Amino acid sequence: MKKRNVAMMLSIVLALGTLLGACGKSNDNKGGGKGKTFSAAMVTDIGGVDDKSFNQSSWEGLEKFGEKNGLKKGKGGYDYLQSQSDADYTTNLNTLVRQGFDLVYGIGFLMTAAVDEIAKQQKNTEFAIVDDQVKQPNVASVLFKEQEAGFLAGVAAALTTKSNHVGFIGGMKVPVIERFESGFLAGIKAVKPAVKVDIQFAGAFDKAEFGQAIASKMYSSGADVIFAAAGATGNGLFKEANDRKKKDPSKDFWAIGVDRDQADMGSDIVLTSALKRVDVAVEDLSQKAKDGKFPGGKVALYGLAEDGVGLAPINAKATNKADIEAAVNDWINKIKSGAVKVPGTLKEVDTFSAK
């Protein structure tokens, strides 16, 4: 009799355990389905999380997502790992997977191969690559119409320059930067085609000293507005412009920032910034993943119409601020309506006409 009662009690305990286990699997993690709160993290490229540009904007978007959803920084919430060299990419991606993050970002096209490799190995984790495409079912590819932001920067530069001479500093000769460059040239062509444009590439996204050296040559040769699409390398442009402005406050040494609003890099020298709202894209994609709507295997494209690119406010110290703003708004409306298609390659710039 006693043995029968013990067996019955064990059966009841086991049944309750199964029931409770099933209940425990019902949670709010719609994206990962791993029995825990949804979590997301990112791996920076070698520019670092505080590059004042691309990586920083990405992190700001992830922070905003985390705060909106009541998550905490760290394991189980939202976090980042910083890469010191290319060799860190695969290691950092794998580390975040092992820590259990549901969504892992590779920030920048330099991480394409690493994301492709790890995504094949870690099929239960969702990944996102920014600025390139990885054709894996568990990877979302985030791309932007940088040419639209570059175009607006070109309009602002053309309407600001007094010397009819401006400059463009690129990080590396890659499609992403070519789109910025193409848009910038098209914007100038649409407003003031007589403006001379100096173009030079630094060959790196993390060398501020290279950016400063290039900017110095451009200012010395007569350029009074320079746009840098070069990540942390562009920080050298701001240093050079600030140094020159302090020595000669009567002259214009305008700089145009990129990715995020870089007005904080110098109140006397930052004319505006070509916004690439990686923060908007990261926040948007993270929310979709959490809600179970992760666009795996697809491209998420962000342009003016999606608030994915744009132009930061024009510096109040610009002599014709109102005219620049009016022109920029006019071109924004034309681009959004489809009346103007901004060229994304240098070849397209050659045949571009805004008329």
Same fold, 40-144+280-304 and 146-276+320-350: yes
Lowest model confidence (mean pLDDT) among 38-42, 54-58, 76-80, 169-173: 54-58
pLDDT reading at 192 higher than 90: yes
Q: Are 277 and 310 in contact (CB under 8 A)?
A: yes
Between 202 and 34, the higher pLDDT residue: 202
**What's the CA gap between 342 and 121, in Å, rounded?**
39
Mapping DSSP to helix (H, G, I), strand (E, B) and coil, where does residue 19 land? helix
Under 8 Å between Cβ of 260 and 311: no
Share of the chain above pLDDT 90, in %: 84
Give the pLDDT score at 240. 98
User: For residue 64, is pLDDT > 70?
Assistant: yes
Does CATH place domain 40-144+280-304 in 3.40.50.2300?
A: yes
1-10, 88-97, 273-282, 322-331, range with the lowest pLDDT? 1-10
Model confidence at 19: pLDDT above 60: no
What is the CA 120 to chain-centroid distance, rounded?
24
Task: Domain ranges for the chain, please list them.
Answer: 40-144+280-304, 146-276+320-350
267 in Cβ contact with 110 (< 8 Å): no
**pLDDT tens across 197-252, in order?**
999 999 999 999 999 999 999 999 999 999 999 999 999 999 999 999 999 999 99
pLDDT tens, 261-312?
999 999 999 999 999 999 999 999 999 999 999 999 999 999 999 899 999 9
Residue 13's pLDDT is: 40
CATH class for the domain made up of 146-276+320-350: alpha beta
**What is the structure's pLDDT at 21?**
40
CB-based contacts of 16, cutoff 8 Å, min separation 6: none
- Distances in Å between the Cα of 247 and the Cα atoms of 52, 210, 257 are 25, 21, 22
Q: What is the CA radius of gyration of the chain?
A: 24
User: Which uninterrupted H or E stretch holds 229?
Assistant: strand 225-229
pLDDT at 221: 98
Classify 42 as helix, strand or coil: strand
